[in-house]
Amino acid sequence: MALCVLAGCARSGPEVVPVAGKITYAGGPWPRGGFIFFTTDEPAAGMPIRPAWATFDTDGQFQATSFSPGDGLVPGRYKVYIEAWEKAPEMGAKSLPRSLVPKKYQSAKTSDLEIDVAPGQGKITVAWDVPKP
């Protein structure tokens, strides 16, 4: 392990393509930060199914994470859904605070946000806008 740290070992595993971007709220900043979730059941040939996520602050900037912070997405076709609340959810609460995200974008089944990541593709930059509920 010490040799790995000194030598700067590379990550092994499936290919990951860097994915970053900006998500706006009705064309502007978000009142609070939130989460973006990337789900797939359509991996590229020979690639594993690997969901991913990203956080964003009020500025909407994000970098997708599959294995390590900001590394990107394993090649495949992803459906995207978003979570952001008026206030942070509390552990043990009987219900979640009011969502800032329209119901359509709270589920991968109903969201129309998608991204295709091809093997060998360079960095992908996306821009999405979510309307107010």
The per-residue pLDDT for 133 is: 81
**132 inside domain:** no
- β-strand 19-25 against 61-63: which pairing, if any? antiparallel
**60 inside domain:** yes
What is the reported pTM? 0.86
Q: Residue 16: helix, strand or coil by DSSP?
A: coil
| CATH number of the CATH domain containing 35 | 2.60.40.1120
**46 inside domain:** yes
Q: Residue 104: helix, strand or coil by DSSP?
A: helix
- β-strand 76-83 against 19-25: which pairing, if any? unpaired
pLDDT digits (tens, 9 = 90+) for 49-79: 999 999 999 999 999 999 999 999 999 999 9
pLDDT tens for the 133 residues of the chain, in order: 444 444 445 557 899 999 999 999 999 999 999 999 999 988 899 999 999 999 999 999 999 999 999 999 999 999 999 999 998 888 888 888 899 999 999 999 999 999 999 999 999 999 999 998 8
Domain that residue 85 falls in: 14-126
Distance between CA atoms of 65 and 81, rounded to whole angstroms?
Answer: 15
* Domain total in the chain: 1
Distance between CA atoms of 92 and 30, rounded to whole angstroms?
Answer: 26
**4 inside domain:** no
8 Å CB contact between 66 and 13: no
Distance between CA atoms of 63 and 65, rounded to whole angstroms?
Answer: 7
**76 inside domain:** yes
